[in-house]
Amino acid sequence: MNTFRSGFACFVGRPNAGKSTLTNALVGEKVAITSSRPQTTRHVIRGLVHRPDAQLILVDTPGLHRPRTLLGERLNDLVRSTWAEVDVIGVCLPADQRIGPGDRYLIGELAKIRRRPMLALATKSDKVAPERLLEHLASIAAAGDELGVEWKHVVPVSAVSGYQVEHLRDLLIAELPEGVALYPDGHLTDEPEEMLVAEVIREASLEGVRDELPHSIAVVIEEMVPREDRPEDKPLVDVRATIFVERDSQKGIVIGKGGSRLRQIGTDSRGQIERILGTPVFLDLRVKVAKDWQRDPKQLRRLGF
């Protein structure tokens, strides 16, 4: 089977650098709605790119400011922790402007984040002549060297003409980890996170046993709450979920020998859930039989159908 990749990318850059226009160009015809996520998520999703081999989730991060106050510093800490949570960062440096002090500050701050692939994007490249574009690309490379950011790629792009948009999509997706789609295909929804989390667990439960249990699994999130008494910078969310099957024999399949499959389901889904929620998660999974739930209206309602 081909590898499926999924994960998060964000674009950073000074105001007007072309971040929103580029997001829309990458998402294409499909809706790019600004959707605010429930409190547990720090990411504001700007758009989704669905492909047969990948799902790329473009998120917003708050802007970074030169800190003048303690509050400013705290805000910047938040920006940095968001940066550290995405899989790839695109730094937008518009070709029609020289790299300025604001850009240099931003690049310097990015240099402090380790091991995060960073792509330098020469946005609005349709606005300048080829010679100027080359000069711009050279100064982007030089700024990276000087400020300590190793650009994974330096990519000229134009959201308006479409130049290299497809290529950029490929480059971003190449940086994502392997994993299942984190959001339903086709559109960006306001679906509660619980549905997404349930879907991740359902997918993981079916892994390798799809033929034996095609439609027999439903997952209900019983509880999803932040653990109390955690330090603010070390949150933990407790997720308690029940995997419903139709028959006892299926329960055995899901649990596996000595609980081995259930443990694997937990391991496989926890990482994805943490990525959706943006916090570490303690996952408690149970398996229950709901006899013939697919034929029972009451059960169906309970299982959210």
Per the annotation, where are the binding residues?
A: 13-20, 60-64, 123-126
Q: Cβ of residue 174: shortest distance to ligand GTP, in angstroms?
A: 22
Q: Is 136 in the site for ligand GTP (CB under 6 A)?
A: no
Range in contact with ligand GTP (rule: CB under 6 A) among 106-114, 119-127, 218-226, 247-255 = 119-127
d(CA 279, CA 231): 13
Q: Residues 6 or more apart from 119 whose CB is under 8 A from it?
A: 88, 89, 90, 91, 151, 152, 153, 154, 155, 168, 171, 172
Closer residue to ligand GTP, CB minimum distance, 121 or 287: 121
Indicate the SS3 state at residue 240. strand
Beta bridge partners of 11: 90
AA letter at 243: I
Quick note: the x/- pattern for ligand GTP over 17-36, rule CB under 6 A, is xxxxx---------------
Cβ neighbours around 226 below 10 Å, total: 13
Half-sphere CA count of 30, side-chain side, radius 13 A = 18
**Do 109 and 140 touch, CB atoms closer than 8 A?**
no
Contact with ligand GTP (CB under 6 A) among 75, 113, 160, 195: 160
Q: Cβ of residue 178: shortest distance to ligand GTP, in angstroms?
A: 30
Contact with ligand GTP (CB under 6 A) among 124, 136, 270, 275: 124
Contact with ligand GTP (CB under 6 A) among 158, 205, 269, 272: 158
Range in contact with ligand GTP (rule: CB under 6 A) among 10-18, 144-152, 199-207, 267-275 = 10-18
Closer residue to ligand GTP, CB minimum distance, 93 or 254: 93
Q: Is 47 in the site for ligand GTP (CB under 6 A)?
A: no
Indicate the SS3 state at residue 6. strand
Contact with ligand GTP (CB under 6 A) among 37, 79, 126, 165: 126
Which tokens belong to 291?
């006899």
Q: Is 46 in the site for ligand GTP (CB under 6 A)?
A: no
d(CA 296, CA 164): 52
Closer residue to ligand GTP, CB minimum distance, 161 or 294: 161
Q: Is 15 in the site for ligand GTP (CB under 6 A)?
A: yes
Range in contact with ligand GTP (rule: CB under 6 A) among 41-49, 118-126, 132-140, 168-176 = 118-126
Residue 232: DSSP 8-state: T
Which tokens belong to 32?
């790019």
| Residue 74 to residues 64, 77, 78, 212, 238, Cα–Cα distance (Å) | 11, 5, 6, 51, 26
Residue 35: DSSP 8-state: B
Residues that bind ligand GTP (CB under 6 A): 13, 15-21, 123-124, 126-127, 158-160
